[in-house]
Amino acid sequence: MNLFRNYHIKNYNFRLVVAVLTLTILGVFIVGSANENYMTRQIVGMLLGLIVMTVVSLVNYSLVLSFHWVYYAVACVMLALVFTPLGYSSHNATRWLQIGGFRYQPSEFAKVLIVLFFARFLMDHEEDLNTPKRLALCALLGAAPLLLIVREPDLSTTIVTFMMIFSMMFFAGLSYKIVAPLVGAGVLGVLFVIYSTIYSAGGGLLAYQGNRIKAWLQPEKYPDLARQQQNSIMAIGSGQVLGKGLNNTGVDSVKNGNYIPEPHTDFIFAVAGEELGFLGSSIIIILLFVIVYECIRTAKRAKDLSGKLICIGMASLVGFQAFVNICVVTGLMPNTGIPLPFVSYGLTSLVALYFGIGMVLNVSLQSKKFYEV
């Protein structure tokens, strides 16, 4: 099996590349407006990501997936290492690894590695996916990284990773007879957590997680806890249609008044709403939709199931993560820390996403049409 193939450039998904680069460049300017100290680093992350994406897009994904068990092991080991002396804690969470002067978040890379693992694993077991033995094995393999992530604690990333794995299993042929009860159980579980949190039972959540749900449901009762999210909503509303402009110095700016802590990361969409208005926010959402759509479109044309699952996994990762982030910032979900794909500051997240998109691009180069030519 060749590492590189004689690809046809006409099969390269340039629409996906343009959407990713446009969104990232827009994110660079928004990050710079939120905190100019991080703009240069974000540019470095974009350039590094572009190199990674280009190289990966030319590597035969079928060969890459032959090492799928290695990726799974690396993902689990990285996630476990955060609980060793190498782990770095911030805001009551241990989500980073500190090696010398270099710090990165393993869960961001782990999500993409998990996509690669399950793409090959589910293809190998497509025929017996719905047997009790295979379902139990899938559950165990998915539970290991999920439990490590939730222990950090990082509930939002755990939820996104679970939805990503579930989407890949569904696309691989998971029976509706299994999907329906799982969805029903999930809805009931969410309702139970919300109900028990309101009535102080906790719902099995950590104290700070329960407090965030209370602040989301009753912001007037918990003004201190709800302040960040309420200020975010106010910032987005104040941008109106065209916004106040990037790098504005207005005294009426929520961002300039430091009412949103660390706006360059999880609440970057609030900065976009205030400074670019409804128009700019809509462009960000449209670009995210285009990226998800192009991943799904590439999946439909993939030569085999593993290629389809790579694309579905990345579409789910970008789509669910963007959905959760924007819902939090706009007050539709409880406050939880998760970056907006390609927009929020974070070199680890940016490079990992570019790596995943590179795999999708390689799938497009080996589409069914390629073999029909």
Q: Domain coordinates of the chain in residue numbers? A: 9-372
* Whether residue 104 has pLDDT greater than 60: yes
Task: Give the pLDDT mean for 51-62.
Answer: 94
Q: What is the pLDDT of residue 315?
A: 98
222-231, 241-250, 269-278 — most confident range: 269-278
Q: Please give the average per-residue pLDDT across 347-362, as a whole number.
A: 96
Percent of the chain's residues with pLDDT above 90: 59
**Amino acid found at 366:** Q
Closest CA to 236 of 283, 201, 270, 276: 270
User: DSSP letter string over 78-93?
Assistant: HHHHTTSTTEEEETTE
CA angle, 57 then 111 then 14, to 5°: 30
Helix (H, G, I), strand (E, B), or coil: what is residue 373?
Answer: coil
Residue type at position 84: T
| Average of per-residue pLDDT across 68-95 | 89
Question: Distance between CA atoms of 238 and 276, rounded to whole angstroms?
Answer: 10
Return phi, psi of residue 94, to 5°: -115, 90
Report DSSP state, residue 59: S
The pLDDT value given to residue 103: 82
Phi, psi for 244 (deg, rounded to 5): -95, -5
Please check whether residue 28 is in contact with residue 331, taking contact to mean a CB–CB distance below 8 angstroms. Answer: no
Residue 339 DSSP label: P
Give the pLDDT band of residue 204 (cuts 50, 70, 90).
low
Taking only the tens place, the pLDDT of each residue in 246-269 is 888 776 777 777 777 778 888 999
User: What is the structure's pLDDT at 256?
Assistant: 72
CA dist 361 to 203, 314, 322, 334, 336, Å?
Answer: 42, 11, 20, 35, 31
Residue 207 in this model has a pLDDT that exceeds 60:
yes
Query: pLDDT tens digit string along 2-54?
Result: 555 667 777 889 999 999 999 999 999 999 998 888 999 999 999 999 999 99
pLDDT of residue 318: 97
The pTM (predicted TM-score) of the whole model is 0.91
How much is the pLDDT for 74? 97
Mean pLDDT of the residues in the chain: 88
Q: Phi, psi at residue 97, to the nearest 5°?
A: -110, 130
314, 114 contact by CB (below 8 A) = no
Give me the pLDDT at residue 56, please.
Answer: 95
- pLDDT for residue 12: 87
Structure-token pair, residue 186 = 């999930």
Residue 210 has pLDDT above 80, yes or no: no
Q: In whole angstroms, give the CA distance from residue 66 to residue 71.
A: 10
Strand partners, 88: 96
- pLDDT value of residue 372: 43
